[in-house]
Amino acid sequence: MAVTTFLRAEALTTETKINVVRAAWDRLGKFPGGNHIFSRMIGRLAPYTATMGAVVRELDEGYAKVTLADRRAVRNHLSCVHAVALANLVELTGNIALAYSLPDDARFIVAGMSLDYVKKARGTITGECHIPPIASSAKNEYDVPVTLRDESGTIVVNGMLRTLVGPKQL
C-alpha cells in the first residue's frame, strides 16, 4: 500500500484487515519528516486531535512519545497549556501506543479517563506511554497510563485511559 493511499480520506479508517497505524508508522517513521506526515495522518483519522498540532516522535510496540509545542492556540488565560489540550495529549499518546500494539484484527475505544494535574504546564510538553503487549482481540478492558512532562522533565500530568479492546467489525 503506497504512502499516498494512507493519506487519502477514504482510506483513513481503522476498520481494515491490517493495523493501519502500525503499517503507516513502520513506513513513514523511518524517513526524515515522516513523523510529521504520520501525525497529520492521525489528525485525519481524528480531526479534533489535529487541532492541537502534536507530533508523534517515537512509536514502538507498547510505547509512544508525543510532543505538544506551547503556543497561543493551546494556552489558557494563565499563559500555560490549557487543561483540555493536556487531556487531548494524554488521549493521543495513550491511543497511539495502544493502536500500534494491537493485533491486526483488534480495535479499541476509550471508555474513561482520569487526569491528575500536578503542575502548570509551560513550554513544550512531552507525553509518554508504556503498556504491556496486547496479545488478543478478545473483548477486554485495559488501563493505559500516560505521563506528561515539561521541558525540564518535571511531571505536569499523570493520566490514565480506561480502554476497551475488541475484535474489528469487518
What is the tens place of the pLDDT at every residue in 94-108? Answer: 999 999 999 999 999
Interval 2-18: pLDDT, tens:
445 444 544 445 566 88
Three-state DSSP state, 89: helix
The CATH architecture of the domain made up of 3-167 is Roll (3.10)
Q: What b/e string do you get for 128-163 counting C-beta neighbours within 10 Å, with b at 16 or more?
A: bbebeebeebeeeebebebbbbbeeeeebbebbbeb
pTM of the entire predicted model: 0.89
pLDDT tens per residue across span 50-59: 888 999 999 9
The residue extents of the domains of the chain are: 3-167
Smallest CA-to-CA distance from 19 within 121, 137, 155, 158 is with 137
Position with higher pLDDT, 76 vs 130: 130
**What is the rounded distance in angstroms from the CA atom of residue 26 to the CA atom of residue 32?**
13
